[in-house]
Amino acid sequence: MVGVLAKIRSRRALRCIAVITVTAIAFAASKVRAQALEIDPAKIIDLTHTFDASTIYWPGEETGFSHEYEKKGMTPGHYFYSSAKYAAPEHGGTHMDAPIHFNQHGMTAEQVPLADCIGPAAVIDFSARAAKDRDATLSVDDIKSYEAANGPIPDGAIVVARSGWGKYWPDKVHYLGTAKPGDVAGLHFPGYSPEAVAYLIKNRHLSAIAIDTASMDPGSSKSFPVHRLWLASDKPGFENLANADKLPPKGATIFCIPMKIGEGTGGPARIFAVLP
């Protein structure tokens, strides 16, 4: 009898422990959910230039960003209504390069996983050199001195090459080196060096690379070795970042949300960072 009572008591105790455990897990989960939804607006940095008539495209593009109202005003039903249509080349403004841009067998825009578009930011600054030389490139030495100061670039990181060029947007002469339509020879702005990108591919496991200029390759490049190297790794690149000067060297998380264009070679993106 005593034995049966003890068994009943221990069963009750077990049930009680189980209830407490389930309650504790539910409480912890709700706390995590609440924390996940709480983002301090002051910690969100918009890394995107507005798309409008001033948006910068490659000199060879015949058209830029067009946006036209189809309806805007009061309806016969006495309510306001507006809608518009837009068109744009894929590669201009703040945008993503999908691997297929320079890699015949690479992913198209809709195939690029969002996991490759989100990651810890590693912001490598070479703006002092770029300020003296428009053709400056981010070098292997820049990567090494960044890591000496900030520790190794983590797996899944998004490297941002910061040239300081964002401040020139949307002044084409300063940003691109030329405002003449079709003047590809006049392009002069900073980019990645092929050696730096080869080093990153070989030694680090990044989600993406990004830059605050019009191209991952410097403007003076004729054969786009950085595009060919990086996109061959089947990872995306992000170009024309705004507000890169507001990012700390490490600690922020970058989110790039590109337009999901079927068979796209890239496309406009909303890019932002959340500060630590």
Binding site for Zn ion (CB under 5 A): 91, 97, 266
* Nearest-angstrom CA–CA distance, 177 and 9: 82
Nearer to Zn ion, 97 or 146 (CB): 97
Residue 180 CB, nearest distance to Zn ion (Å)?
Answer: 20
Residue 63 CB, nearest distance to Zn ion (Å)?
Answer: 16
Q: What is the CA radius of gyration of the chain?
A: 25
Instruction: Report the residue number whose CB is nearest to Zn ion.
Output: 91
Residue 239 CB, nearest distance to Zn ion (Å)?
Answer: 5
- CA nearest to 235, candidates 212, 214, 262, 256: 256
Residue 110 CB, nearest distance to Zn ion (Å)?
Answer: 16
Q: Which DSSP letter does residue 258 get?
A: E
CA 23 to chain centre: 39
* Nearest-angstrom CA–CA distance, 236 and 91: 13
Nearer to Zn ion, 45 or 56 (CB): 56
Nearer to Zn ion, 146 or 192 (CB): 192
Nearer to Zn ion, 178 or 240 (CB): 240
Confirm if 255 and 119 have CB atoms less than 8 A apart: no
